[in-house]
Amino acid sequence: MSLVKKFATVASGTLMSRALGFGREMLMAAALGTGPVADAFNAAFQFPNTFRRLFAEGAFNAAFVPLFAKEIEQHGNEGAKRFSEEVFGVLFSALLALTIAMELAMPLIVRYLVAPGFADIPGKFETTVTLATIMFPYLICMSLGAMMAGMLNSLRRYFAAAIAPAFLNIILISVLAYAWYHGLDAHDVGFGLSWGVLAAGIVQLAIVWVAVRHAGISIGFRRPKMTPNVKRLLILALPAAITGGITQINQLIGTAIASAQNSAVSSLAYADRIYQLPLGVVGVAVAIVLLPELSRALKSGNLVEAANLQNRSVEFTLFMTLPAAAALWVMSEPIVRLVYERGAFAANHSTPIVASILAIFGLGLPAFVLIKAFTPGYFAREDTRTPMIFAAISVGVNIATALTLFPSMGAPGIAVASAVAGWVNALMLLGMLIRRGHWGRDVPLLKRIPRLVLSAVIMATALYFAERHFATQIGPGSPLVVKATTVLALVAGGAALYFIAAFGTGGADFGMVRRNVKRGTGKNTAAPKPNLDE
């Protein structure tokens, strides 16, 4: 299967999840707006979600996948099964202990870590504590699920792991539809959503567990034991967890700072949902597919293949994310107005602030996607320490910038801090890869980058003037059908102009597309066992 086809397999599942996420956020915005319950729910959900990214997706997609791939290469199915059971026993026991400790300490955690600004607001603090207590066990389900998703990705079975997150949005949309039908108040909606998150974790875990069994590996529970393989995993996983969860760390910090201002937490969350669509579809797909492919190439000593994988991945991410970033910068307000402006959201006059946050997030989008393309170059070589150091530096930049800008700019200042931190991290990762000789000079890529940037600028300029020409059709008083048709037409027209400019200037060419699509499954990309192929 070609690299682009693998990206597309993961991206299709992620796109479905993100599209459903749009529906979920639209309903949530209409039901809760940017009011106190919306702030409480988003702050409470941010906490277990951050831990999930830190100790599950970040750690296992970075540390577990190369070790699991090595076990398959060296010892086949049985070795991979034994390693998985060893890790499962340790992971489950650690998660259970962590969850119990966090549940008991939840009031202190919310007061001093998650949302210190809520502490002096009667009712808001207590609601956040309760919602976080309900949702935190979601971490167990999602962490175990992330481990199994890593196994599936190593076995080149990408779709089940990519589609499972969609069920979170399906369940939450069902909760919101039920709440609307029965006329539930905001308080009841918040509690219903929290129980829905927990139920979704169970469903997602069940999906990947069944997929792993179908792939030929049945995981049994083993008594927790620190075997050499598990020790090696933990040594790699701790820094990888921090590195892989850098975006979530920055978001948690942003949430804590934003809690000092009413509506800021939910405004950031609503803007983040739109921004996560291109980030998830492109960035997550690249990171998930690139790591096991790059690990195999390096394990087999094929440095040419490894360099080609890295360069083509960066080429693909820039080709797709530069126009998305430009569109978010120029079209943020019409997009927010179309997606959210109804019900409680419109009543709170929340569009301008959410739109300004989204525009700034757009400027950081290429950086965060490039981070996902650069870090596999370290993780596949079992170097998780260097990206962790760079992640720590970017967190420091984020905190300093956010604390400096928030008093004068409010929530948009936190978005600026996040974008700046992302670019600092991406540039440090690239610089060290070049310094170590792990990033070969690729002349076609160097020629295409400025041309892709020019194409995105051309598209953004056209959208800027088109938006003003159609100001009446996309304005606050315009009917929904007219507004939706106009915004979608502008986005489609902008995308068409970008692709014409990209191919016309040489930023992209059909030879590049053919090389990626026709990249076959040769010696270094074939699955080690025939029965594990998709």
**Is the pLDDT assigned to residue 427 strictly greater than 70?**
yes
Assigned domain for 362 exists: yes
pLDDT in tens, 461-507: 999 999 999 999 998 878 889 999 999 999 999 999 999 999 999 88
Contact criterion met (CB below 8 Å) for 48 and 138: yes
Q: What is the pLDDT of residue 490?
A: 95
Q: What is the pLDDT of residue 127?
A: 95
For residues 288, 291, 294, 299, the Cα torsion angle rounded to the nearest 10 degrees is -140
Number of residues written out for the chain: 534
Output phi, psi for 70, to 5 deg.
Answer: -65, -40
pLDDT band for position 522 (50/70/90)?
very low
Assigned domain for 534 exists: no
Q: What is the pLDDT of residue 12?
A: 62
Assigned domain for 530 exists: no
**Is the pLDDT assigned to residue 169 strictly greater than 70?**
yes
Contact criterion met (CB below 8 Å) for 485 and 281: no
Q: For the ranges 257-266, 272-281, 516-525, which has the lowest average pLDDT?
A: 516-525
Angstrom distance (rounded) from CA 398 to CA 232? 31
Amino acid at 528: P
Q: Which of the 8 DSSP states describes residue 35?
A: S
Q: For the ranges 27-31, 122-126, 250-254, 385-389, which has the lowest average pLDDT?
A: 250-254
Assigned domain for 525 exists: no
Domain interval for residue 306: 3-31+38-520
Q: What is the pLDDT of residue 507?
A: 83
Q: What is the mean pLDDT of residues 386-406?
A: 92
Q: What is the mean pLDDT of residues 74-97?
A: 85
Tally of domains within the chain = 1
Please report, rounded to a whole number, the percentage of residues in the chain having pLDDT higher than 90.
36
Ordered DSSP codes for 315-340: HHHHHHHHHHHHHHHHHHHHHHHHHH
Q: Which pTM was predicted?
A: 0.73
Assigned domain for 199 exists: yes
